Structure 1
């Protein structure tokens, strides 16, 4: 089983190289709570993503919608869609995830007809893969076959792997996609990406609402409405949550003092940083640092034994 941690650039695009083989494809298992943030932060990527829940339940936020995916069920997330995930209902969620480049699904001659239009179907940001239906089970079986092919690499496995991907995609087209494009919804999501991009570049500075709104070419009221619709929170709430998220990296990877970290991530008050950190993470920054140091020590002991 492989745990997967990824890097995200300033505009939330995932930077991790999705390649389990020499091809643009990644297949991995992970526990949501094992991520550095304790959840999968908001991000997007060019790849199509297929997720099946092996244990527990996950809460996904995809563009403007929130949905819950239970053990045995899955979800397809379309290319370029903003999404995040966290454990739901007190469970510790484990899932298997297949990421694959849209350009790897079919031959070039078929891409324009059978893949490209669906990448831009804004009415289909995601498709639920319910275990009660037959066709999602077939997709999961194909993913299991892909895992076996990658692990065992038999003769001509590359051809068989390609067959499995085409089978998955054909099943999705036959059962899930709505071929509609909403230009307003697309523009709204692109503006959100621009605003989040600006926040991620300037989170360590003083940030005003009008700065965020300007990045999305919106009025302050429209900016707030957009954040509320897509992220279910205010712009400044998101800014402070992102600052706390960045502080987790510094707490784990540096010897900076709590005060130094507070100022480095954009807070001008150590006490406010500590209180907000405790409200979000249910612990203090110092206790969090000590816990992560203990976790790292235990991992090293296991590896040495």
Structure 2
């Protein structure tokens, strides 16, 4: 079925029953497993990666609107190609979900191991990925590197400890596994633009006001 979205719009709604496209044995393998979610293919602008499927959809619409003796067969063939694209996209979604789950595991690992200075190898292991894949995931989803993210989170934790505890700067540096107090102070200042002691005094002053 082809239907206009609006009378003045060039957009069309194309609907078909995928089980009618295949032999029952093929439908059992390539249709039934993919019918458990409601979704449709929406492409508003012809991006490079979608150009071929857009053309296929346009051909299917043209064939369904034609009166030729083979029009229905030609449209059916095009719809089969569209369905193939559909189930391929399901695979891509699953891969992305697996990647997000790996990233979630790595972020949780970092959060619970900030005081032990997480290494790239241990972060990757937590996500069940290689070190190179670990770096790709952080770059793709967070526009940062794993170790840069660790540094930010450790500095955030340091700021929280300075505000919520009475531990000395040296004790906080030691708790966060910094090699020396001076290294901790330099890193904190580079991140927060203020020394740890000044940060604590600033917070205490604001709280007192």
Q: What secondary structure does 1:292 align onto?
A: helix
| Larger Rg over CA atoms | 2
Q: What secondary structure does 2:194 align onto?
A: coil
1:60-209 matches, cutoff 5 A: 182-209=93-120
Distance 1:283 1:206 in 2: 22
Matched, 1:220 2:131: yes
Matched, 1:246 2:157: yes
Matched, 1:275 2:186: yes
User: Contact (CA 8 Å) 2:124, 2:131: kept in 1 or not?
Assistant: yes
* Deviation, structure 1 residue 220: 0.7
Distance 1:231 1:202 in 2: 19
Distance 1:219 1:256 in 2: 37
1:29-63 CA-to-partner distances (Å, cap 9, x unmatched) read xxxxxxxxxxxxxxxxxxxxxxxxxxxxxxxxxxx
1:86-114 CA-to-partner distances (Å, cap 9, x unmatched) read xxxxxxxxxxxxxxxxxxxxxxxxxxxxx
Distance 2:140 2:117 in 1: 25
User: Contact (CA 8 Å) 2:117, 2:176: kept in 1 or not?
Assistant: no
Q: What secondary structure does 1:217 align onto?
A: coil
* Deviation, structure 1 residue 200: 1.3
Distance 2:196 2:181 in 1: 11
Distance 1:264 1:253 in 2: 15
* Deviation, structure 1 residue 224: 0.9
User: Contact (CA 8 Å) 2:188, 2:196: kept in 1 or not?
Assistant: yes
1:139-195 CA-to-partner distances (Å, cap 9, x unmatched) read xxxxxxxxxxxxxxxxxxxxxxxxxxxxxxxxxxxxxxxxx8611221111110100
Unpaired runs of at least 5, structure 1? 1-116, 121-179, 299-305
Q: What secondary structure does 1:242 align onto?
A: helix
Report the count of equivalent residues. Answer: 125
Higher relative contact order (CA 8 A, sep 6+): 1
User: Contact (CA 8 Å) 2:155, 2:188: kept in 1 or not?
Assistant: yes
Please report the TM-score for the alignment, with normalisation by the length of structure 2. Answer: 0.55
* Deviation, structure 1 residue 269: 2.0
User: Contact (CA 8 Å) 1:243, 1:266: kept in 2 or not?
Assistant: no
Normalized per residue, which structure has more helix? Answer: 2
Unpaired runs of at least 5, structure 2? 1-36, 40-88
Please report the TM-score for the alignment, with normalisation by the length of structure 1. Answer: 0.38
* Deviation, structure 1 residue 240: 1.4
2:177 is matched with 266
